[in-house]
Amino acid sequence: MSLSWERIAELSIASLSPKEKGSSAVYVDQTLLSPGVVIQVGGREVRVPWQAALAFVDLEPGVNWGHRCRYLVVNATSGEIQTYDEQIPPFLISAPPNLRLVWKGEAVPPWAVVQP
């Protein structure tokens, strides 16, 4: 891994549009994923192509159950991002233990973010 967790967070936040940046919350799972591992991304399975980190963008913080969200698989060396638009946040079952809030838009109320 050549990118720091801080840089992975910066790249994840930079993937947002200006409107999304103001109204979204971004989380990074600080578990390094190995190439070839299969992970659950919303309602689908994804094979990780390279050593990576998983980020989650909650596009509608505070909305219960399924809602617009996005998963980012961030290459831990180059910063390349694969994006998956979904409707199922990771919080419906339980938040991954290494999931960290890295961004909260100004329109997001504090009660709407998850602090695992």
Digits of tens for pLDDT over the chain (116 positions)? 799 999 999 999 999 999 999 999 999 999 999 999 999 888 889 999 999 999 999 999 988 778 889 999 999 999 999 999 998 887 766 667 888 999 999 999 999 888 76
Instruction: Please report, for residues 13, 99, 105, 106, the alpha-carbon distance to residue 109 in angstroms, rounded to integers and kept in the order given.
Output: 18, 19, 9, 8
- The upper half-sphere exposure of residue 8, i.e. CA atoms within 13 Å in the direction of its Cβ, equals 27
**Starting from the edge strand earliest in sequence, which strands make up the sheet with 99-104, in order?**
81-86, 69-75, 52-58, 25-33, 99-104
Q: What pLDDT score does 116 carry? A: 62
Residue carrying structure tokens 């991002």: 81
- What's the whole-model pTM score? 0.92
Are the beta carbons of 27 and 97 closer than 8 angstroms? no
